[in-house]
Chain A
Amino acid sequence: MAKVTFIEHDGLEQVVDIPTGWTLMQGAVQSGVAGIEGECGGSCACATCHCYVDEAHVDALPPPSETEEEMLDCTASERRSNSRLSCQIRVSDALDGIVIRLPEAQS
């Protein structure tokens, strides 16, 4: 279980408890975090769960797969060095306290 803070583009903050093994996208979508769509349900097929991982945690994550890399090049909002698809990040205790910022648009 990890406490994850999602900060929407307009500054609205939502803290969500996400079980270990779930993805950030699943936790966010089930809690109704509006800035993440996750239309494909987590198959890395739609790029509508784009997020910016706070710099303190970005290096602690396994790097994106080739597929995620390519999808990240196609996000609706600007790709940055800390851009990830939240459906590809699995929650572990190590992510407790992580801050995730959401882009202006997902599609």
Chain B
Amino acid sequence: MGGPAQSEPADAGMVIVGAGQGGLQVAESLRAEGYDGPITLIGEEASAPYHRPPLSKAILAGMMEEAQLAIRGAEVFERQRIALLTGTRVVAIDRPARQVRLEDGRRLGYRGLALATGARVRRLPITGDGLDGVLGLRSLDDARRIRAALDRAARVVVIGGGYIGLEVAAAARKRGLEVTILEAADRLLARSATPFLAGFYADLHRGQGVTVALGAKVVGLDGQGGRVTAVRTADGRTHPADLVVVGVGIVPDTALAEGCGLACDGGVLVDDCARTDDPAIVAVGDCTARRTSSGALLRLESVQNAVEQGKSAAAALLGRERPFTAAPWFWSDQYDVKLQIVGLSADHDRMALRGSPEERRFSAFYFREGALVAIDSVNRPADHMAGRKLLDRKAALTPEQAADEGFPLASLTR
């Protein structure tokens, strides 16, 4: 046993709460940055860290086994000396004592703490939300339940036309089930995409035989014998269902952070280096929100955000600056359509189109005051990859160049 040298105080170690993609990234980046002390990665779920994006895609479609989801094998944790505690809940953070308290009463000291607590599915504030057959999708357990339900279901109603809802709808439709999407807003993807892209996805799903109801406000769920049988909407219609998937967004899990007085505003507030307002605590991934240089509050739910904040957080815990300022990117697979998004299109004032929406192969370029701010690429991965560089380098692409198939995007990134 090689204990710490007599002259130095023992290293209380790095503790990471949340064993998802972001938490794992913090642990591995700490090692990659040369940190040699104890690392403890604590997760509530029974599983070791796994890839979440396939849950709403290949896993539901039955095209992937669960074992393939694991990000790392057990021997990798051993080799990297990362102590992984699964099925373990942290109930409180004692900042003055620099300790986390576990559900079973144990206390674990830390030198640095990372919060990667993720998010919970938003529940519907209506009667019937607790019926059997009403499910949300966030974790592997959720995906197992939905997959089992899909095996028996004939009629599926998806509440919420966001990415998770649309991906679940696509997976259910591919199985030949009757699928209805109920979206309360007047378009799909209302919180995250432009009306143009939303229209493309409404057409895509309708073309596959999915019923897409917009402006459909859900007012209640009917059940029989404790099982859901239908969804009622404000227009007085009843939509029969033996499976209801609720995809109305997620709520950042900030309970621990709030409980110990860290600043939170719709997420644990962090800077570009993933630091909270306590120098010993960082936070990463879906549980966080950050202020941009313009002062706006930015919350990203994506793998890239978890990974990049994870790298920043590890550096910050070691006293180094590694800001994460790259353009956000994201993807979604539905049917045979691959969507890749880079940048934030919310404030755009002009759009330029390259390619053909009819042929399901196009990129929509969004500009604000003449500057490129985002690109949505459908089955055009090269545009997306070039776009990441264009945005990160603030390259001067014009709408005319963007719309011109003959103009090589990559020429501006070399």
Contact = CB atoms under 8 A, between A and B. Distances in A.
A6 B67 CA distance: 21
B340 A74 contact: no
Contacts of B67: 19
A29 B331 CA distance: 20
B72 A29 contact: yes
B50 to A, nearest CB: 9
A95 B281 CA distance: 46
B56 to A, nearest CB: 11
Interface stretch (B119-127, B236-244, B317-325, B378-386): B378-386
Interface residues of A, number: 23
A41 B70 contact: no
Nearest to A23: B68
B34 interface: no
Given A41-B54, A44-B338, A45-B338, A30 B382 contact: no
A74 B382 contact: yes
B53 A40 contact: yes
A70 B381 contact: yes
Tier of interface size on chain B: 20 to 34
A38 B221 CA distance: 41
A92 interface: no
B73 A45 contact: no
A55 interface: no
B388 to A, nearest CB: 9
Contacts of A23: 68
A71 B70 contact: no
Contacts of A45: 331, 338, 340, 381
A39 interface: yes
A47 B385 contact: yes
A81 interface: no
Q: Is the interface of A mostly helix, strand, loop or mixed?
A: loop
A29 B80 CA distance: 14
B286 interface: no
A31 B331 contact: no
B72 A32 contact: yes
A43 B52 CA distance: 12
B369 to A, nearest CB: 28
A31 B76 CA distance: 6
A30 B71 contact: yes
A78 interface: no
Nearest to B52: A41
Contacts of B331: 40, 43, 45
A26 interface: yes
B333 interface: yes
A4 B193 CA distance: 41
Given A30-B71, A32-B76, A44-B338, A73 B303 contact: no
Nearest to B21: A41
Interface string A21-51: 1110010011110000001111111010000
Given A29-B72, A43-B331, A45-B381, 8 more contacts: A30-B70, A31-B73, A32-B73, A40-B331, A41-B303, A43-B53, A43-B333, A44-B338
Interface of A: 19, 21-23, 26, 29-32, 39-45, 47, 66-67, 70-71, 73-74
- Which 10 A-B residue pairs are closest in the complex by CB-CB distance? A74-B385, A41-B51, A32-B76, A45-B331, A70-B382, A70-B381, A30-B73, A71-B381, A26-B68, A41-B53
